[in-house]
Every structure is written in structure tokens, then in C-alpha cells.
DNA sequence: TTTTATTTTTAGCTTAGACTAAAAATAAAA
DNA sequence: TTTTATTTTTAGTCTAAGCTAAAAATAAAA
């Protein structure tokens, strides 16, 4: 059984490895966890002893297979709880992250299996992120960023990259949610901004907006 | 916001105060929390500083109004989660305690209010214990112990005093659960044992069984 | 009312996890 | 290839919460 602090480190390292690939630096971990590099070094050395990750001084860390499974399980719990909060308790998708951060650390395999079943074995969380199975396997759907679409292309919103409240509220205001169809009417090469169509509305979005929205094209 | 350890102390002290009334001793707290008296002294002094309880050296402690409210809120969360686990996730009533012990420490008022609503604002948990409202008020129903009933009296099971797995499994085996009607057919003065009727079955129970079952008489 | 037993507290130590400041290693620039 | 800047680690503190062993207070027994 891993402590709350350990689980959070493992989860963060997992996510960083997804983005950056290969070895993850001490500083990167410290930044993502809002802690100091020296604290990271301590914890990372402890996790290395426990064979949850491999650590080479000054070179960064990489999760072992065991580490990856632990991370996937925490993520599985987080995302299942998010589904619960949105589907059953009618929370809004931009309100659930913090609560799920707490719920993800409740230890009980039976609980999470029953929750999974209760929710109808969902494959994606309310932000469109995939929910791994109990062994830590993700089904990966190939999704693009909206910013990668060209003029006249269209697709369906399947998730977000950025999950800040500000961003999610922006999407809300524009009536963009999981499943919303989006068409690119025009695209400016200079700054990557776009004119898009959502429902009956057409409006301008900046590149920053476009590169944080995942789209599944038909 | 209180730490997990603090919340557990507050909850334990609350329960002990219910049973013992008035001041609760250091030793009693230590025993109920499976910790050492010296650790209890430390924590109790800290909680006294925070005005959660009043503490007189060598004399024991008593929760303040603030302490009582905190305790009631933790208990409210515990019991609501138990209802969720049994009603929604189909856990058995003897399997939910440990999981609820973890869930009760998730901090979010909004969460617990929505959960309450989702569950249909239940008044009792799966063991028949009352669920306090958000302000910490319990509705108290006057319930008796089965052992207090006389020959030929009968009533409905509304809860248990003892919550060990062994006891709950015994009740299960005998098909006694919340709502089960029980009639006392005979009672032995010498040892407090009884012959009771449950459904179509009649059987013998010891005083130990009888004095841990709460009954509501008509 | 002494003496003895029990309970409670204090003092000092331990561990997990975080922090600061300084030292060491690596990477970037001149 | 030195020098400079950046990153990472080490060493030493700090806090929360626990523990043991000894001291102090209270309660029980003689």
C-alpha cells in the first residue's frame, strides 16, 4: 500500500513521462507538484529503493512496470470518480477535479470494481480522457488537436488537454463539450487563429484555444 | 480544515462521550483508537489549544460545541457513504465500515450535500444509526435493546450496538437485518438468554446477542 | 492515613515529508 | 576549453504524529 504522497508522485511522474517521454527531470516533477526540487530528490530516492522507478543521479527518473501499474490504477480511480461526480451527482465537469484528487486515494479494489460496474464500465471520463482497466491498459483512440485541423475539416470534441477552470469555463460559455461537433471555417497561418462553427454559432478562436482541444475526425 | 488524525480523535471522543457521558479519559481514548495514552495526551493538548475540546490535566476531556459539530459532520459523512455503498454499490452491510472510514475524510461540503440528495436524504445508515443533518442535529428515535424486552413482547430490528464482522455475520445467518420483526417467546432470568421468533424460525439466543441488537417496539 | 496500584503526563526519540542553504554536477556560453 | 549558469543533490531543520521509559498525580487498599 502506498501513501498519499507516494501515490501523488507516481501519478505526476506518469503524466510527465506521457508528455516528455523517457526520463523525467527533478525540476519538472517539482514544478508539477508545486514542491521543491530537494523534496523531489528525497522522495525519488525512496521510490527507487522500492523499485517503483529507476533513478540515475542528475539524470532523471523513469517508472518501472510496477510504477506504471500503480499510476494507472490511481488514474483509473480518479477518472471513475469523476464520472460518478458528473453522471450521478450532477457536478459540472469543471468542478470535479479537486474532489477526485481526494477520492482517488481511497484504498479498496472491491470499491473501485463495483463503482466501475455501477457507472456502466465507462471508457472515458467527463473530460474525454480514457479510463484504463484494472491492469492499467488504456485503449488509445487516435485523437488530434483542433489546431491540427485544416480549413473546411470538422470533427467531434473528445477531450481537453488543458483542464484549468478558466479554460473549461470558456468552453462552456461557447457551448463546447464532449460530443460537440466543430467545423473549421477559416484558419489564419500567421497566428494559428481560426473561425469555427459550433452549432449555429460561428466565432473566432485563438491558437491557444485550438491547441488544447482534442478532436476526433470521422 | 482538520487533519485525518484530528478528525479521528474528535470522532472517537464523541462516541466515547455518548457512551460514558461527561468527561472521557485518556486511557479510554487510547484504547478505542488503538494507540498509546502518551500519544493521546499530545493530541488532546493540541485540540484543546484549538478550542475543539476542554481539557483538565488528569481529569479527561470534553468536546466543545465546535468539537461536537465537527464530530457530527464526520459521522454524517461516514453514514451517508455507508448508505451509498450498500444501496448503490450493493455492498453487504458488514463490509462497508472500513471503506467509509476512508471516505469520511474527503473534504467537500458540496459533495456531501449532493450525495445526501442523490441517496434520497436518508435518515438512517445501513446499521440503523441515525444520520445527523449538516448542522450536526440528530433526530433521536427511542430504541431499546432486545435484551430489555420481556416475554411475549416484540419489535422491529432498527440497528446494532456491536458492529464486528462476526456479529453481523451471525445476524445474517439468522436472517436478522434492519426491519426484521422479532418476538420474544421465552426468557431465562438466570443468564438472560431468550427464545425468539424470526420469520418462521424459532431459536435460542444468548444475552450477549440480545444486548447488542436495537429494537423499536410498536 | 500511609502504602500500593493505576492512570496520566512529561521528556526524549523516530519516521515521513517538506523546507533552506550550500555544495556538486551538468549544461551552456564565451 | 575555460567560465558561467543551471540543475540536482546533500546536509541540516522543521512539523505532525507516533512511540518508550520515567516521573508525577490520582485512586484504591491496607
Strand, helix or coil for residue A53:
strand
Disruptive mutation site among A108, A120, A121 for chain B (greatest number of B CBs within 10 Å): A108
Percent of the residues in chain A that have a pLDDT greater than 70, as a whole number:
98
- Class of the CATH-defined domain B144-217: mainly beta
Give the pLDDT score at B213: 94
Residues B176-212: b if buried by 16+ CB within 10 A, e if exposed:
bebebebebeebeeeeebbebebeeeeeebebebbeb
What are residue A216's DSSP bridge partners? A156
Residues of chain B with CATH 2.30.30.90: 144-217
pLDDT tens, residue by residue, B12-55: 999 999 887 789 999 999 999 999 999 999 999 999 999 999 99
| Cβ contacts of A152 within 8 Å, gap of 6 or more | A183, A184, A185
The verdict on a CB contact (< 8 Å) between B85 and A111 is: yes
Interior CA angle at B211 toward B210 and B214, to 5°? 85
Which CATH number does the domain A4-63 belong to among 3.40.50.720, 1.20.1050.10, 3.30.360.10, 1.10.10.10? 1.10.10.10
Q: What share of chain A is helix, strand, coil (3-state, %, to 5)?
A: 45, 20, 35
Distance, in Å, from the CA atom of A138 to the CA atom of B180, rounded to the nearest integer, reads: 46
The verdict on a CB contact (< 8 Å) between A118 and B91 is: no
pLDDT in tens, chain B (218 residues): 999 999 999 999 999 998 877 899 999 999 999 999 999 999 999 999 999 999 999 999 999 999 999 999 999 999 999 999 999 999 998 899 999 999 999 999 999 999 999 999 998 888 878 899 988 888 766 778 999 999 988 888 888 999 888 999 999 999 998 878 899 999 998 999 999 998 888 999 999 999 999 998 76
- Number of Cβ atoms within 10 Å of the Cβ of B15: 14
Q: Which residue of A has its CA nearest to B98?
A: A108
* Nucleotides in chain C near protein beta carbons (<7 Å): 7-12, 16-22, 25-26
A95–B contact, CB cutoff 8 A: yes
A106–B contact, CB cutoff 8 A: yes
Q: Are A127 and A93 in contact (CB under 8 A)?
A: yes
Amino acid at each position: 500500500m502506498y501513501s498519499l504522497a507516494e501515490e501523488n508522485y507516481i501519478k505526476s511522474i506518469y503524466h510527465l513521462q506521457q508528455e516528455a517521454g523517457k526520463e523525467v527531470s527533478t525540476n519538472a516533477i517539482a514544478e508539477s507538484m508545486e514542491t521543491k526540487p530537494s523534496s523531489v530528490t528525497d522522495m525519488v530516492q525512496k521510490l527507487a529503493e522500492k523499485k517503483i522507478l529507476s533513478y540515475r543521479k542528475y539524470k532523471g527518473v523513469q517508472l518501472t512496470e510496477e510504477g506504471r501499474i500503480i499510476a494507472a490504477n490511481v488514474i483509473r480511480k480518479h477518472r471513475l470518480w469523476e464520472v460518478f461526480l458528473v453522471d450521478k451527482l450532477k457536478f459540472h465537469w469543471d468542478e470535479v477535479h479537486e474532489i477526485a484528487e481526494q477520492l482517488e486515494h481511497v484504498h479498496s479494489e472491491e470499491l473501485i470494481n463495483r463503482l466501475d460496474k455501477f457507472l456502466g464500465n465507462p471508457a472515458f471520463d467527463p473530460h474525454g480522457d480514457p479510463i484504463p482497466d484494472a491492469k492499467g491498459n488504456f485503449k488509445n483512440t487516435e485523437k488530434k488537436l483542433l489546431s491540427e485541423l485544416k480549413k473546411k475539416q470538422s470533427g467531434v470534441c473528445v477531450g481537453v488537454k488543458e483542464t484549468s477552470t478558466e479554460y473549461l469555463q470558456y468552453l462552456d460559455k461557447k457551448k463546447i463539450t464532449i460530443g460537440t461537433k466543430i467545423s473549421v471555417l477559416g484558419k489564419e497561418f500567421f497566428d494559428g487563429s481560426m473561425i469555427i462553427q459550433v452549432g449555429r454559432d460561428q466565432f473566432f478562436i485563438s491558437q491557444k484555444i485550438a491547441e488544447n482541444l482534442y478532436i476526433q475526425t470521422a
